[in-house]
């Protein structure tokens, strides 16, 4: 079973949400778990209209508290109240544009797990790290910090609700992707560091044009999809992951 997560980022009108949900509800995937992560403003409607075979995901959360006096923040209580099941934590754009750090991501991960949300934890190297051949060093350092935090904060038994997404910073939105061999090496590095079998997704300029090639990565758990999740290309990616066995039906369960 592959996992396809559509990360809409700060995009998508109500009209687009209606269109994508209608099309997705007509699909019948047998080998793909589909998760969509629209902006906060669309989470409630997505949860109410999307077929229950699919999951709704938040793009970030405030790990300081479940709720409280944190202007502009969204906590686990609010997310669960609108039907959210997953949350993306640690995306490179949260680092690049908002200055968030690993400490923030680890705190958010603990809060999410304690409150029943599944976590998609992002990890990846910068272009400089890649040029200096420090990719595996960066990846393993991040994974070891995650392992230590899960133990220290008493949520180790909840590790089964955690998925890792490898998203090289230099590939996000660039149209460039690592080679199959590079992705395979990183995935093996992640799996060899984590003492449990966590699914590993790949994210970074994923399109229907390169999906088949990326699927040749042995043991890859699926994809974290950005730009392509806003168009019919998302369904093409899911179809390919499903082995072309998808059937379309009318609306309804």
The answer to whether position 39 is within a domain reads yes
Q: Taking the model in full, what pTM does it have?
A: 0.93
Instruction: Quick: pLDDT tens for 139-163.
Output: 999 999 999 999 999 999 999 999 9
DSSP structure string for the chain: -EEEEEE--S---HHHHHHHHHHHHTEE-SSEEEEEE--GGGHHHHHHHS-TTSEEEES----S-SSSS-TT---HHHHHHTT--EEEE--HHHHHHH---HHHHHHHHHHHHHTT-EEEEEE---HHHHHTT-HHHHHHHHHHHHHHHHHHTT-GGGGGGEEEEE--GGGTTTS----HHHHHHHHHHHHHHSSS---EEEESS--TTTHHHHTTSTT--EEEESGGGGSTHHHHHHHHHTTT--EE--S--
Instruction: Quick: pLDDT tens for 9-45.
Output: 999 999 999 999 999 999 999 999 999 999 999 999 9
Give me the number of domains the chain comprises: 1
The answer to whether position 78 is within a domain reads yes
Mean pLDDT of the chain: 93
Q: How far apart are CA 55 and CA 157, in angstroms?
A: 23
Q: Which residues are catalytic?
A: 91, 167
Residue range(s) defining the domain that contains residue 34 = 2-248
The answer to whether position 52 is within a domain reads yes
The answer to whether position 253 is within a domain reads no
Predicted confidence (pLDDT) at residue 95 exceeds the cutoff of 50? yes
- Sorting pLDDT into bands at 50, 70 and 90, what band is 62? very high
Burial 102-125 (b: 16+ CB within 10 A, else e): eebbbbbbbbbbeeebbbbbbbbb
Rounded percentage of the chain residues whose pLDDT exceeds 90: 85
Cβ count within 10 A of residue 46: 26
The answer to whether position 209 is within a domain reads yes
Q: What is the CATH number of the domain that holds 34?
A: 3.20.20.70
Q: Which region among 3-17, 35-49, 119-133 has the lowest average model confidence (pLDDT)?
A: 119-133
The answer to whether position 239 is within a domain reads yes
The answer to whether position 203 is within a domain reads yes
Rounded percentage of the chain residues whose pLDDT exceeds 70: 96
The answer to whether position 25 is within a domain reads yes
pLDDT at 171: 81
């Amino acid at each position: 079973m592959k996992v396809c997560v559509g990360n809409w980022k700060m995009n998508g009108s109500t009209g687009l949400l209606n269109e994508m949900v209608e099309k997705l509800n007509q699909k019948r995937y047998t080998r793909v778990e589909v998760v969509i992560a629209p902006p906060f403003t669309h989470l409630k409607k997505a949860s109410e209209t999307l077929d229950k075979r699919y999951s709704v995901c938040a793009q970030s959360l405030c790990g300081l508290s479940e709720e409280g006096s944190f202007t502009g923040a969204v906590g686990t209580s609010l997310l669960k109240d609108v039907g959210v099941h997953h949350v993306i934590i640690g995306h490179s754009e949260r680092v690049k544009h908002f200055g968030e750090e690993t400490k923030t991501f680890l705190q958010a991960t603990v809060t999410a797990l304690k409150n029943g949300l599944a976590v998609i934890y992002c990890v990846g190297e910068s272009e400089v790290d890649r040029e200096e051949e420090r990719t595996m060093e960066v990846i393993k350092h991040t994974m070891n910090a995650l392992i230590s935090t899960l133990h220290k904060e008493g949520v180790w038994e909840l590790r089964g609700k955690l998925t890792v997404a490898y998203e090289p910073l230099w590939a996000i939105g660039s149209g460039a992707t690592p080679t199959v061999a590079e992705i395979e090496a990183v995935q093996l590095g992640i799996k060899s560091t984590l003492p449990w079998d966590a699914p590993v997704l790949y994210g970074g300029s994923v399109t229907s044009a390169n999906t088949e090639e990326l699927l040749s990565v042995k043991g890859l758990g699926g994809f974290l999809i950005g730009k392509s999740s806003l168009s019919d290309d998302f369904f093409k990616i899911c179809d390919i992951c499903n082995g072309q066995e998808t059937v379309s039906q009318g609306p309804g369960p």
